[in-house]
């Protein structure tokens, strides 16, 4: 069960790139143990939101709190700690082809814990992580021997090996066929259930959004347009949200309107 203190808080966050406003007064609380999916048109700022959370992109105003602490006020050590606790599974996170699967999964672990974990502990963690994504015993294989779906799962194992508290999934199913998409969805749900992680998912895949999420959040027009349960979204009468979910372009597509929301 999620505790009552939000683990992550966006409070009145503003962000612009030059003249281009991305957010103006973005506010959102994310509870411990929740899986939240961020929906929004291309360019609405979903990835920017994830990157601001781990300090890769600085907000212009407002506050972003992780476990009660303001990201903007953190020194390097504080940010390092945040990035240790929040794992970002990048869109198309690539594996190193020159390394075995086991070495790939161990990579971040070795970087982060080079002086505290023994080789044996690392091997154990790698085996456990591969098991969690349903690929036990493939340590000696090469990434080039794996299907696209397996590569994504190895990428996820590499993230899980770091034992984060939060996983940011940026387009976790892009480029996968429906069966492999279902596998990843299943893993996201399974990981949440077994490890109690907090997850933020950015996806355009409505199937994934409805399958994995406790709550959905739609961003657009520089802020949160709607938040609620999957059922709230299924039943919404908000035309903008409805059309997005149904993949329907406005009947009279005004180019100026499209440009102003992209
Ligand atoms: N470092 C940056 N410098 C300048 N502009 C940026 C930077 N990062 C993102 N942007 C711009 O901010 C806007 C939002 O980008 P973002 O990647 O968050 O969109 P998104 O909602 O994740 O889109 P998509 O669904 O297409 O991935 C885009 O117009 C993008 O070009």
Is residue 162 one of the residues assigned to a domain?
Answer: yes
Q: Is the CB of 42 under 6 A from ligand 1?
A: yes
Render pLDDT for 14-45 as a digit per residue (tens, 0 to 9). 999 999 999 999 999 999 999 999 999 999 99
More confident: 99 or 259: 99
Taking 90 as the threshold, does the pLDDT of residue 163 lie above it? yes
147: domain CATH number?
3.40.50.300
The total number of structural domains in the chain stands at 1
Nearest CA to ligand 1 atom 6: 17
Q: What is the DSSP letter of 73?
A: G
CA of 90 to the centre of ligand 1 (A): 14
| ipTM of the complex model | 0.96
Is residue 240 one of the residues assigned to a domain?
Answer: yes
CA of 48 to the centre of ligand 1 (A): 6
Is residue 59 one of the residues assigned to a domain?
Answer: no
Mean pLDDT of the chain: 90
Is residue 49 one of the residues assigned to a domain?
Answer: no
Is residue 70 one of the residues assigned to a domain?
Answer: no
Query: Is the pTM value of this prediction over 0.90?
Result: no
Specify the ligand 1 atom closest to the Cα of 262.
29
SS3 160: helix
DSSP string, 16-41: EETTEEEEEEEEEEEETT-EEEEE--
CA of 39 to the centre of ligand 1 (A): 14
Is residue 56 one of the residues assigned to a domain?
Answer: no
What is the extent of the structural domain holding 251? 32-44+79-261
Is residue 22 one of the residues assigned to a domain?
Answer: no
For the sheet containing 215-220, what is the strand order? 86-89, 166-170, 198-202, 35-39, 215-220, 223-228
Average pLDDT over residues 223-229: 95
| Beta strand 69-70 pairing with 215-220 | unpaired
Q: How far apart are the first and last CA of the chain?
A: 37
Nearest CA to ligand 1 atom 9: 48
Is residue 205 one of the residues assigned to a domain?
Answer: yes
Dihedral in degrees, nearest 10, Cα atoms 173, 174, 178, 182: 0
CA of 114 to the centre of ligand 1 (A): 34
């Amino acid at each position: 069960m999620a505790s009552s203190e939000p683990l992550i808080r966006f409070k009145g966050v503003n962000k612009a790139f030059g003249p281009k406003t991305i957010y103006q007064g973005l506010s959102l609380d994310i509870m411990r143990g929740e899986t939240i999916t961020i929906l929004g048109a291309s360019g609405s700022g979903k990835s920017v939101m994830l990157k601001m959370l781990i300090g890769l992109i600085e907000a212009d105003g407002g506050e972003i709190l992780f476990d009660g602490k303001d990201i903007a006020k953190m020194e390097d050590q504080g940010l390092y700690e945040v990035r240790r606790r929040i794992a970002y599974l990048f869109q198309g996170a690539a594996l190193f082809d020159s390394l075995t699967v086991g070495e790939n999964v161990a990579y971040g672990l070795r970087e982060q814990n080079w002086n505290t974990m023994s080789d044996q502990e690392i091997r154990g963690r790698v085996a456990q992580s591969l098991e969690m994504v349903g690929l036990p015993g493939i340590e000696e294989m090469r990434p080039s021997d794996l299907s696209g779906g397996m590569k994504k799962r190895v990428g996820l194992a590499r993230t899980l090996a770091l034992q984060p508290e939060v996983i940011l999934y940026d387009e976790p199913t892009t480029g996968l066929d429906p069966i492999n998409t279902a596998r990843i969805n299943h893993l996201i749900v399974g990981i949440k259930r077994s490890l109690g992680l907090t997850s933020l998912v950015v996806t355009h895949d409505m199937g994934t959004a409805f399958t994995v999420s406790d709550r959905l959040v739609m961003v657009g027009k520089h802020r949160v347009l709607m938040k609620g349960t999957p059922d709230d979204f299924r039943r919404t009468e908000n035309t903008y949200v409805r059309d997005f979910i149904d993949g329907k372009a406005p009947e009279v597509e005004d180019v100026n309107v499209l440009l102003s929301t992209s």
